[in-house]
């Protein structure tokens, strides 16, 4: 009022909390009455599928606007939320009469975040999902409109122009690269293949596969992508993914992402069904031109996906307090420390059992908690991978060729064993092969949707649960709680996931400050000839992040006796606090250097050290 803004008036009040517990409904209703009696209106903006969101009218709100939460959990940022979230969020908004929030992350520095924000705007059009003219809220960060409008960077300024078009009701172009998709070809095995031609050859970060599956039947099987680079006739392996089950959170709007990270002129996308899968229907293919951090520079002998330990490790909020997953206890009270093991904000959770010897496996059960209370949900996907000889992949997707030597099982939707309330229940995934599978290694892979809370895993052989006598491990480590001071704790995956951070991308980094050294031990599985080891860090001084003061390397064949420390050498020169760039610290080893275990010890004398990858070039000794 004092400033006299003539285009600004007090419309009403905003309820800050983004979910509503049943016990809080009377308090919200009383607040609504007070707001209305004063002549104002009442607004609420819940997060996606928040507790109580469908009851917004009952609580007394005049307007509710639903958050898609796509921008903050994309695969570029280590999450598993994809563009189909915008479609499913729009479906819910239409059904329950609410608006849609427009969200962005770092549109000033990250092309992938600008790309994601353009998805929000393009999909709002009437010809797409129709929320452009609905009630809207904008979560854009600090001074985003002003900063984009005055930016001298054409890529940033173009965001302002697109936003102006969106607000004015004009269509915003789709940012996906234009492609031509052929008609599908089906072979004798039932495999369906599409050819995808890029009108402008370029980097394919990933292939997005959207499926329209109204249910209850859903396609399940293996998807492989082959790549033909520009100017070449031959094809190379691009990536693969297993599709086990539909994501219960996205309704009919289903999605599978296959990571590629290669330059291409043409793609071949093949769908090989599992036995008993219904036919593939309503497939939409598109290309994501962004790749998180860029593909890791590597030679043919570089290793990725190597298991490792990181010490000191951050304590989990819901840790495994001692064989919690095989104690034959499925708690009736729900999740909690000492009852469940929990993960969140990760793309994949993997639990691997070593049965000690090959056993005939006739079934696997995974018990977990879901329902949405406290953002605890059933996973978006669940699968079991079995092998008699080697540990199977610890993921449901990967770069390059599909690994050989494993069998995998799909479970479908969970069986609900106990329903405490509409938002809290116990569910069981049951994996049953058509006939017994001889396996020593049993790997369960989950894609979390919020918090994943596992309580029990059972592996059956001839009607007997053999899991309690088997050793098991998991990746990543259980997630720290909100009060954990180690903000950039390692998750047991990112340091060997095959991607480096080009700048400060928290989801790709393990970071710490203080003088205590950090020790990383990689287990290569067998003794190998080690040619070189490269540790990717950040340097430059921006955000207080500097190159580690020292990084040392040791090798061991048995984990007990270690070679003398070899220093890793990296970039030199002053760090002037104006940049944050990748810094490779490398040691080229003498011929004959070999080991199963690789130990890296990193120390820092500055505020923050950040690591994104440890690359080992190795071969057969």
What lies within 8 Å, CB to CB, of 601 at 6+ separation is: 517, 518, 519, 520, 551, 552, 554, 565
What mean pLDDT, rounded, does the chain reach? 92
Q: How many CB atoms lie within 10 A of CB 144?
A: 19
Among 393, 362, 431, 399, smallest CA distance to 498 is for: 399
**For the chain, what percent of residues have pLDDT higher than 70?**
97
- Tell me the pLDDT band of 572, cut-offs 50, 70 and 90: very high
Per-residue pLDDT of 25-72, as tens digits, reads: 999 999 999 999 999 999 999 999 998 999 999 999 999 999 999 999
Spell out where 274-340 has E strands: 283-288, 302-303, 308-311
Per-residue pLDDT of 410-434, as tens digits, reads: 987 899 999 999 889 999 999 999 8
pTM over 0.85: no
Per-residue pLDDT of 490-522, as tens digits, reads: 888 889 887 788 888 887 899 998 889 999 999
Among 248, 250, 192, smallest CA distance to 221 is for: 192
Among 295, 231, 305, smallest CA distance to 261 is for: 295
CA separation, residue 317 to residues 18, 81, 272, 406, 518 (Å): 22, 23, 39, 33, 21
In CATH terms, the fold of domain 315-391+402-475 is Jelly Rolls (2.60.120)
The reported pLDDT for the residue numbered 300 is 36
- Tell me the pLDDT band of 593, cut-offs 50, 70 and 90: very high
State the Cα angle at 497 between 494 and 503, rounded to 5°: 65
CA separation, residue 532 to residues 375, 524, 560, 592 (Å): 43, 14, 21, 12
- In this prediction, residues 354-362 reach a mean pLDDT of 97
Helix (H) or strand (E) holding 381: strand 381-387
Rounded Cα–Cα distance for residues 176 and 466 (Å): 48
* CATH class of the region 179-291: mainly beta
Q: Is the pLDDT of residue 275 over 70?
A: yes
Rounded Cα–Cα distance for residues 66 and 302 (Å): 44
Q: What is the SS3 assignment for 235?
A: coil
In CATH terms, the fold of domain 494-618 is Jelly Rolls (2.60.120)
| Cβ-contact 40, 10 below 8 angstroms | yes
Q: Is the pLDDT of residue 165 over 50?
A: yes
- Tell me the pLDDT band of 485, cut-offs 50, 70 and 90: low
Rounded Cα–Cα distance for residues 358 and 353 (Å): 12
| Cβ-contact 501, 612 below 8 angstroms | yes
**For the chain, what percent of residues have pLDDT higher than 90?**
73
| R_g (Cα) of the chain, nearest Å | 25
CATH 3.20.20 maps onto the chain at: 12-168
Q: How many CB atoms lie within 10 A of CB 173?
A: 11
Rounded Cα–Cα distance for residues 344 and 507 (Å): 12
CATH 2.60.120.260 maps onto the chain at: 179-291, 315-391+402-475, 494-618
The reported pLDDT for the residue numbered 144 is 92
The reported pLDDT for the residue numbered 464 is 96
Just give the CATH number of 12-168.
3.20.20
- Tell me the pLDDT band of 296, cut-offs 50, 70 and 90: very low
Altogether, the residues listed in the chain come to a count of: 621
Q: Is the pLDDT of residue 247 over 60?
A: yes
């Amino acid at each position: 009022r004092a400033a006299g803004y003539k285009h600004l008036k007090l419309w009403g009040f905003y309820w800050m909390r983004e979910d509503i517990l049943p016990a809080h409904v009377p308090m919200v209703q009383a607040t609504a009455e007070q707001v209305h009696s004063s002549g104002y209106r009442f607004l609420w903006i819940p997060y996606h599928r928040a507790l109580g969101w469908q009851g917004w009218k009952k609580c007394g709100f005049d307007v509710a606007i639903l958050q898609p939460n796509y921008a903050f959990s994309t695969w570029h940022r280590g999450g598993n939320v994809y563009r189909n979230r915008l479609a499913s969020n729009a479906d819910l908004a239409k059904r329950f009469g609410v608006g849609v929030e427009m969200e962005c992350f770092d549109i000033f520095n990250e092309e992938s975040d600008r790309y994601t924000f353009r998805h929000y705007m393009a999909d709002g059009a009437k010809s797409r999902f129709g929320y452009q003219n609905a009630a809207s809220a904008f979560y854009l960060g600090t001074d985003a409109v002003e900063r984009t409008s005055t930016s001298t960077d054409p890529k940033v300024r173009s965001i302002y122009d697109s936003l102006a078009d969106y607000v004015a009701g004009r269509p915003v172009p789709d940012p996906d690269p234009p492609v031509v998709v052929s008609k599908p070809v089906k072979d004798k095995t039932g495999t369906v293949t599409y050819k995808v031609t890029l009108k402008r050859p370029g980097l394919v970060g990933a292939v997005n596969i959207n499926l329209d599956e109204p249910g209850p039947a859903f396609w399940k099987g293996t998807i492989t992508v082959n790549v033909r680079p520009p100017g070449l006739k031959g094809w190379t392996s691009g990536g693969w993914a297993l599709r086990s089950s539909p994501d219960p959170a996205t309704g009919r709007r289903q999605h599978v992402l296959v990571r590629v990270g290669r330059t291409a002129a043409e793609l071949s996308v093949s769908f090989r069904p599992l036995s008993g899968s219904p036919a593939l229907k309503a497939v939409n293919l598109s290309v994501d031109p962004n790749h998180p951090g860029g593909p890791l520079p590597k030679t043919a002998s570089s290793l990725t996906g190597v298991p490792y330990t990181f010490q000191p490790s951050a304590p989990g909020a819901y840790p495994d307090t001692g064989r919690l997953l095989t104690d034959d206890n499925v708690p009736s009270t729900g999740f909690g420390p000492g009852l469940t093991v929990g993960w969140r904000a990760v793309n994949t959770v993997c639990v691997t059992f070593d049965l000690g010897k090959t056993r005939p496996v006739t079934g696997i059960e995974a018990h977990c908690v879901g329902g949405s209370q406290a953002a605890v949900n059933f996973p978006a996907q669940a699968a079991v991978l079995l092998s008699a000889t080697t540990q199977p992949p610890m993921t449901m997707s990967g770069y390059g060729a599909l690994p050989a030597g494993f069998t995998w099982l799909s479970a479908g939707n969970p069986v609900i064993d106990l329903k405490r309330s509409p938002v809290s229940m116990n569910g069981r995934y049951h994996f049953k092969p058509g006939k017994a599978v001889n396996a020593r290694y049993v790997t369960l892979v989950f894609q979390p949707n919020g918090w994943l809370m596992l309580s029990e895993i059972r592996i059956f052989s001839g009607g007997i649960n053999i899991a309690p006598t088997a050793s098991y491990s998991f990746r990543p480590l259980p997630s720290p709680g909100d009060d954990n001071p180690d903000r950039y704790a390692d998750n047991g995956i990112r340091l060997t996931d095959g991607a480096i951070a080009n700048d400060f991308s928290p989801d790709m980094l393990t970071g710490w400050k203080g003088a205590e050294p950090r020790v990383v031990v990689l287990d290569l599985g067998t003794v190998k000839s080690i040619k070189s080891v490269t540790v990717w860090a950040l340097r430059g001084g921006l955000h207080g992040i500097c190159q580690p003061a020292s990084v040392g390397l040791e090798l061991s064949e048995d984990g007990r006796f270690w070679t003398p420390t070899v220093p890793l050498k990296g970039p030199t020169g002053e760090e002037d606090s104006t940049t944050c760039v990748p810094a490779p610290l490398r040691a080229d080893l003498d011929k004959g250097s070999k080991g199963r275990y690789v130990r890296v010890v990193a120390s820092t004398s500055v505020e923050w050290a950040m690591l994104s990858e440890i690359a080992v070039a190795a071969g057969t000794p």
